[in-house]
């Protein structure tokens, strides 16, 4: 069931982008919250403070799947006028038990190594 959540997300969120699912890990919401709050995961060098992870709004034992995709990802959200959209080589999506992406992160393979989110 884990890769299926990632593949369903790929179809919804990434469309026809030529991407490859390279890793899938299952953790609980509380494991990922602790991971984020303890600075063990820090794209861009930041981390959530104690009790501040968005995963705290989910049941602690909820299954969260980490879906790592490699490819070429162009930032598709609003950016300042005249700015060049960033391009990422790896995306990490945290997918809840209902199959919705609750967080996503983009960056280089070095910034987003293939690790299981856990405290």
pLDDT digits (tens, 9 = 90+) for 43-95: 555 566 777 788 899 999 999 999 999 998 876 677 888 888 788 899 999 99
CB 83 within 8 A of CB 45: no
Q: Rounded distance, CA 99 to CA 2, Å?
A: 10
Enter the pTM of the model.
0.85
The two structure tokens encoding residue 93: 């999506």
* Helix segments in the chain, DSSP class H: 2-9, 29-37
Q: Rounded distance, CA 58 to CA 19, Å?
A: 29
The two structure tokens encoding residue 74: 């162009």
2 pLDDT more than 80: no
Find the radius of gyration of the CA atoms of the chain.
14
């Amino acid at each position: 069931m884990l890769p299926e959540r990632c593949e369903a997300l790929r179809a919804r969120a990434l469309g026809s982008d030529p991407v490859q699912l390279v890793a899938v890990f299952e953790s609980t919401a509380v494991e990922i919250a602790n991971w984020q709050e303890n600075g063990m995961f820090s794209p861009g060098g930041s981390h959530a403070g104690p009790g501040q992870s968005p995963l705290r709004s989910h049941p602690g034992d909820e299954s969260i799947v980490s879906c790592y995709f490699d490819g070429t990802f162009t930032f598709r959200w609003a950016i300042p006028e005249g700015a060049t959209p960033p391009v990422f080589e790896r995306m990490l999506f945290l997918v809840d038990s209902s199959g919705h992406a609750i967080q996503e992160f983009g960056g280089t393979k070095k910034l987003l190594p293939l690790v299981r989110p856990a405290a």
